Every structure is written in structure tokens, then in C-alpha cells.
Amino acid sequence: MTETLFALDAAHERIREAARTLAAEVAPFAAEADDATEVHVPTAEALRRSGLAAYVVPREFGGHDDTLDPLALAIIREQLMAVSAHLDSLFGMQGVGSYALSVGGSDELRREWLPKVARAEAIPSIALTEPEVGSDLRGITTTIAQDGDVLRISGRKAFITNAGAADFACVLGKEGDGYSMALVPTDSPGLRVTSGPELIAPHIIGELHFDDVVVPAVNRLGEPGKAFALMLQTLAVFRVSVAGSAVGLAQAALDEAVRHATSREQFGKPLMALGSVSQNLALSWAEIEAARALTYRAAALAASDPLAHIAETSMAKVIATETSARVVDRAVQAMGRFGLIRGSVIERLYRNARPVRIYEGSTEVLLDSLARQLAKRTTS
């Protein structure tokens, strides 16, 4: 891997090395894992043994730190995504799927589930999007209603990561004039799981159908009707970790292209000596370092108050994911016909670079939000 220009403190350097060790363990079967549409058992077992899932829950419930460290999450995902999108997703979803529980769940509920999440023994998911609702989550139609000491949930969620593998889902639904969340074990009566569409980059994805699903009222996450802020906080924390993933993907693509360009000759000289190739790869290096610096800074800011720094984490997600797309495209171009071989490392990176520009806030949606925030700052 090209040496990064960004220095980390000793604690975060240890975290990065632990993530690199896990990635190296998974590397021999990464291609097989990345073709999986259900949990790839050897990859999940490697994640479990690594202990890295403990970074996604508070220390009180088996985690490493008193509160989640977004910088640690971004660093870990940077290393994992460079080797396997499946591994990155398994790790990332341990946090994304359980964060609302960590922040908004009762002590009883957290004691029941979070230690299992920290040990990667329970797989969580978060159920936000619906067949007709993606970015505009205020348009959801799934309902949550309190009936005495239970909550009743009805509706349908689509494009849900881990849907067929999760042990529980944190579900967003309409409740009166507001939005609420509830933890729903996936073995609850009335909950049916169906497979989702096949994606260009294989993924564990499916639909959740709630037919008057009943859970105890203690399974409520956050206050009634006020869970939209809890959902936004989840995105604020983990959106920047997606930026970390994108940086790792871009770095892996650059490394692959540089290996090719320094070993293959054309016109009597290495490809790396040809101006157009070398300049594009040098530009890619500079852009990756810029994206990494922004990602690490945004993650560090998010540690104190995720919602207060949602602009910075959104910027990092936009810049890092758009950078990864450009870098992977340049890498394929530099490798010529060798960049087009199905099943090659660069081909997997090319396919995996596309979804990160869409999930957890598409580039266009985030830019619209940033534009609104920019206008407010300019006029205030």
C-alpha cells in the first residue's frame, strides 16, 4: 500500500494495524466473500475473532470506548474495504444497525443485545427505506402504534442491508404526527423476510414485511414521535465511516494500477514513464490524500457532537466517494485491457465504487443539504 501522508496518534495507529491484520486474514477468500449474497461464514468468523466489532458499542456493554469513536470506525473501514466489500459491510452494519439502540434503547434492551453485537454474535440491521421511499424518509408509510404495553408495527421496508441475516432490526415508522423507532427481533411473529434484487456489487439485501408485528413497549428506541433526530444522528456518525471505506477502496485501486504501470512496458518503456498515465495516477494520489485528511478531520469532529458536525461528515462522504469513483476509473484506464477482466481485483473495486455514492445519502441529496446550510451560514 502507498504510504499515507496523514499521521495518526499511537492509539489510532494500533487500531489501523488491527484492521490491517483482519483484512490480511480475509484477503485469500475476499473474492469469494464479495460474490456472496448471504453471510460468508469464514469472513464473519474472522471478524468475530478480531474483536473489532467491539468498537461499535459503548464500553459499558462490551465496547472499547466509553462512546463511539467515529475516527476509529473510519480507519477500520478504510482498511477493510481495501480488501473486501463484504467484510467492510459486515463490520459497518454492526454499528449502523445497532447505533439507535446504543443511544436510544433502555438499559434492559441494551444489556440484552449490545454485548452480542460487540462480540459479532448478533447481526443487526436498520430498516429505513421503503419500496417508494429512499432519500426522502419523511415519506415513509410504515406505522408504529402503542397499544398498552406493546408496540404494533405494520408496513414494508425495502433495500434493507442484512435483512435475511439479521437477528434484529431498528425500524423507523410513522407514529401520529412524528416518527418513532423500535427494535424488532427478526423472529417476531408477523415479520416476513423476502429477498431483494440482485445488485451490480453483490450484497446481503432484502425486504421486511411487518403484518401487525407486536413487540414490548420497552423495545421503543428514543422518545415517541421524536426518532427522526435519532436516525439523523446515526447517519451523522456512520456516514463519515462510509467516507473511510471509499478512501480505502480508492487507495486499493491506485495501488493496483501502480503495480501494473511499473511492471508493464509499452513503446519500450514502463507505463509509469508515459506522461498521461503517470500524471493521472499522481493526481489520484493527491486526491486520495485530500479525501483522507477531510475524512479524518470530519470523523474527529463528529466524536464530540455528530449532529452539530453533520455538514463536515456529509462533505467527507461526498468528496471521498466521488474521489473513489474517479480514481478507480483512472486505474482501469491505466491498466487497459487488463482492467476489464471479470473477477480481477480492479474489476471488483470498479463495481464496489458505484454503490458508495448512493447509500447513506446520495451525492446529490447531500449537496442539496449542504447548499441549504451554506445559504444559512452566508446570510446569518
Q: What is the pLDDT along the chain (380 residues), one digit of tens a residue?
A: 555 666 788 999 999 999 999 999 999 999 999 999 999 999 999 999 999 999 999 999 999 888 889 999 999 999 999 999 999 999 999 999 999 999 999 999 999 999 999 999 999 999 999 998 877 888 999 999 999 999 999 999 999 999 989 999 999 999 999 999 999 999 999 999 999 888 888 889 999 999 999 999 999 999 999 998 898 889 888 999 999 999 999 999 999 999 988 877 666 667 776 778 889 999 999 999 999 999 999 999 999 888 899 999 999 999 999 999 999 999 999 998 888 889 899 999 999 999 999 888 899 999 999 999 999 887 76
Task: Indicate where the chain has its CATH 1.20.140.10 domain(s).
Answer: 229-374
d(CA 184, CA 252): 37
- Listing DSSP states for 27-90 in one string gives GGGHHHHHT-SS--HHHHHHHHHHTGGGGGSBGGGT-SBSS--HHHHHHHHHHHHTT-HHHHHH
> Which cell numbers hold the place of 343?
473477477
The 3 state secondary structure assigned to 291-318 is HHHHHHHHHHHHCCCCHHHHHHHHHHHH
| Architecture of the domain delimited by 124-225 | Beta Barrel (2.40)
- Cell 453483490 -> residue: 202
Task: Indicate where the chain has its CATH 2.40.110.10 domain(s).
Answer: 124-225
Residue 101 and residue 124 in contact, taking contact as beta carbons nearer than 8 Å: yes
Question: What's the pLDDT at 380?
Answer: 65
Phi, psi dihedrals of residue 163, rounded to the nearest 5°? -50, -45
Q: What is the pTM of this model?
A: 0.92
Q: What is the CATH number of domain 229-374?
A: 1.20.140.10
Does the domain formed by 10-118 have CATH 3.40.50.2300? no
Question: What's the pLDDT at 202?
Answer: 87
* Backbone Cα Rg of the chain: 21
Question: What's the pLDDT at 3?
Answer: 54
Question: What's the pLDDT at 273?
Answer: 67
Compute the Cα dihedral for 253, 254, 259, 264 and give only its sign.
Answer: positive
Task: Indicate where the chain has its CATH 1.10.540.10 domain(s).
Answer: 10-118
- Cα→Cα distances 173→152, 155, 156, 168, 247, Å: 10, 8, 10, 15, 33
